[in-house]
Amino acid sequence: MTILGVESVVFGVSDLAEHTRFWTDFGLPLEEASADQSVFRIASGSRVVLLPHGHADLPSPDPFPGDGIKLTVWGVDTADSVERIAVSLASEVPVTRRADGTVHAVCPDGQPIALRVWDKRVVVSEASPVNTPGHQPRFNQHRIWRQRAIPKTINHVVFFSPDYVASFEFYERHLGFRYTDHSKGSGIFARAPGTFEHHSIFWVNCDLPIAPDHFKFMHIAFGMDDIDEVMLGANIMDAKGWKNQSMNSSGGISRHRISSAIYYYCDIPGKAGEAEYHADTDYLDDNWVPRAWDFRFGSLLWSNNAPPIFRGDDIPWDMVFDADRKSFEPFRKSAPGKRPAQGKLAELTEADEHAL
């Protein structure tokens, strides 16, 4: 079975018009708009769906208060793969299947997920070679000039989890996700098996001082061609009044040490979390050896507005290879592989089906 990445994210929002304007300014192509929903589709075929609170197609009960991603839909390679995942999930949690073949479940941490067959599109992308004082691959050539930022992919989603180790292990057991890296005490990065981005999902520890005490959406990252697009997007969003003020945003363009990615966060309306422009991330496959990091070292930011806990020149080099996952044990809240009461697989009638 192969999960190819994020096929859709479904937001529950309090102000549909304001959220639609935000994502349009962010650079997402608007595919459909009506009085009760807006749908954006990017180059890979991934969708961002906006629904007002109370809409019939939102999960019930609501996984957390306020605006944010209420449902993550993972795209799968074949119908047989969807069926195998559904059977696996049903050994641990209740599962429903819609008439269109979409499988729905709620993870033990409270995250609603869905899986459906996805005809993922090939993304055509280009970036200019980078010249340095001692190496000039772009010789006698002008750099590509961009007019606006256009996100191409959804690289990853991030959620707060009350037991982030268990959240990862659930995804590994049933969805086949690969362990990438562990920011010790902060969270685990994991990659969908059918993609090469450093991570497709990151679970942040609810025990952190900046975190809520319950499952909640944190941010979503969109793949861009290069640093030019990230800079351009940041400037356009600022000019249109979308300010970068949250603690996670850290005030400017910077680079993550743990995944190498250049990034810029924008605050989503309604205190819904952040949207991230994301470029030059690490790409990897199953030959990658997972690492465990001191969370300050792994998250070290160049931006001078980063939270104080992440700043300082005295942060020690603290990274070890972690194929045996010894780093998990101090942060584990439940026994490895522990499973609740067996779930069930349910069929919905055509009348019950929601067209997500």
Residue-by-residue DSSP string for 135-200: B-SSTT-PPP--SS----EEEEEEEEETTHHHHHHHHHHHH-PEEEEEEETTEEEEE-TT--BS-S
pLDDT for the residue 251:
62
pLDDT at 340: 58
- Give the strand pairing for 178-184 and 187-191: antiparallel
Q: For 60-110, write each residue's pLDDT tens digit.
A: 999 999 999 999 999 999 999 999 999 999 999 999 999 999 999 999 999
CA atoms within 13 A on the CB side of 158: 23
pLDDT at 355: 35
> Domain locations in the chain?
3-121+150-331
Fill in the DSSP letter of residue 129: P
Count of other CB atoms within 10 angstroms of residue 230: 22
Q: Count Cβ atoms within 10 A of the Cβ of residue 101 and give its class: 0-12 exposed, 13-18 middle, 19 or more buried.
A: middle
What pLDDT score does 310 carry? 64
pLDDT in tens, 239-259: 999 987 765 555 688 888 889
Contact 172, 182 (CB under 8 A): no
Alpha carbon 296 to chain centroid distance? 21
pTM higher than the cut 0.85: yes
Q: What is the mean pLDDT of the segment spanning 132-152?
A: 95
Could you identify the residue written with the tokens 């400037």?
235
CATH architecture of 3-121+150-331: Roll (3.10)
